[in-house]
Structure 1
């Protein structure tokens, strides 16, 4: 059984509230064979979260060690906590000729683009700005100033869509999930084996 070579690293990113987690959950439901990287974080587990399933939960000292030992493909800080992508599982997956999927924020996607130019960056976009505003403000549990900050950040993230290779519109979760799986398994256009960036 031949697998498409070379295997490709695919990054899914997009603004807060666009439904990245929902699309990833649908990908896993419809295509359980798809491998999604589990991020490492310094934040405390929330109720119901399982270590090694939702995140790898570590303390600051361990996170510092990962950075020092080139153990993270990318990392960023949000709301006083740090999040990153463990490098070893991703590298092992790609070395076996199998695709790998990361769901990360814009800052992390830019780091991956710098370190692994051959990676495929996919931007998940809302059907419209009005729909994204509804998703971000519909919870009604945040102060107006917090909502304003979230909307300003979402606008800045939307403006970065042009930095990505492909834009997938999340107007239907099942369709968006199928489109993402298609991108994961498609051969990389013009990609030459052995010309990737040195890690």
Structure 2
């Protein structure tokens, strides 16, 4: 019987570096992750590719997916929808591969309700001043939007209690190593492996009775 993969949810405030950390994890070949690409209605930024960074959709297209029950989670953030298509996630987990979600905090809380056995990791900035510096350095948002994101970030950091782990993104390579250690440990937790050993014991009973 194929063991189901593990769902890993990485989230945190906008500008904390979720995308950069996710890219570094996938490039590290630490484990056979499958990154679940999110869907969004926000405009594509320079260098982004549809179907690679996000599935970029119109508001009408996104709302049609919601109405059809096609989203594992979704949320509105700074006037745009963000969400995770459900079908692909389930197919990948059933195939025994880990799925990495990089999503917003509100979306992560929806996933927590539907998938309580997932591993929920909150990526934090060293402090809010550093977060503002990173947002400003991106050069993609106006000052008003940046201030809105900082206010939102403070509210999101207060929601950290709903996660399993908190990882500071002071340096990307260090954050990646911390997350990899978490995942390695989670794969060894008894609830995740006990069915394998129950099957082993059943086979052992058959061997004993045949002697």
Q: What's the TM-score once normalised by structure 2's chain length? A: 0.78
Matched, 1:191 2:195: no
The Cα of 1:139 is off from its aligned counterpart by: 5.9
Is 2:18–2:102's contact at 8 Å kept on the other side of the alignment? Answer: yes
> What TM-score, normalized by structure 1, do the two folds share?
0.82
Render the CA deviation track for 1:3-43: whole Å, top value 9, x for unaligned.
Answer: 8x442111001112211111111112222842211111233
Deviates more, 1:171-180 or 1:59-68: 59-68
In terms of fraction of residues, the more helix-rich structure is 2
Q: Which runs of 5+ in 1 are unaligned?
A: 194-199
The aligned counterpart of 1:8 is 6
Query: In structure 1, what is the Cα distance between the partners aligned to 2:142 and 2:67?
Result: 37
* Contact kept? 1:101, 1:184, Cα under 8 Å: no
- RMSD in angstroms over aligned alpha carbons? 2.6
Say which SS state the counterpart of residue 51 (structure 1) adopts.
coil
Distance 1:27 1:116, change over 3 A: same
Judge conservation of contact 2:128–2:150 (CA < 8 Å) in 1.
Answer: no
Name stretches of at least 5 consecutive residues in structure 2 with no aligned partner.
194-211
Which structure is richer in relative contact order (CA contacts within 8 A, separation 6 or more)? 1
Determine which structure has more spread, i.e. the larger CA radius of gyration. Answer: 2
- Secondary structure at 2:120's aligned position in 1? strand
Residues 99, 184 of structure 1: 8 Å contact kept: no
Runs of 4+ in structure 1 displaced over 4 angstroms? Answer: 137-141
